[in-house]
Amino acid sequence: MPVEVRLPTVLRSAAGGSSSVTAEGATIGEVLQNLIAAFPAMAGQVLTEDGTLHRFVNVYVNDDDVRYLEQLDTKVAEGDTVSILPAVAGG
């Protein structure tokens, strides 16, 4: 199932400048792996070498951070939007 993946500015150059791409997958883990397969320059930026979510990356399905859902096992369905955002502070 293809879903829309919105990319942060820092990852756009790895995707030919696109701010949004599509990727296949039934879970967030699958979507991110397919994303990296399509855009190898993102390797190491989104997932770590051992396949976990990069510490400074927040991934949202629609508006929910997947770390507080099922992490990489969080299911995605057609029509969902996945957003990748860098961790930023406030205060």
Query: Closest Cα partner for 35 from 66, 14, 8?
Result: 14
Residue 41 is encoded by which pair of tokens?
A: 């320059």
Of 21, 45, 47, 72, the residue at the interface with other proteins (CB under 8 A) is: 45
Residue 71 is encoded by which pair of tokens?
A: 């992490």
Tell the smallest beta-carbon distance from residue 60 to other proteins (Å).
Answer: 5
> Letter for the amino acid at 66?
V
75 is a site residue for other proteins (CB under 8 A) = no
Contact region with other proteins (CB under 8 A), list: 9-17, 21-29, 32-40, 72-80: 9-17
Distance CA 10, CA 77 (A): 26
Site residues for other proteins per CB under 8 A = 8-11, 45-46, 54-58, 60, 63-65, 67-68, 83, 85-91
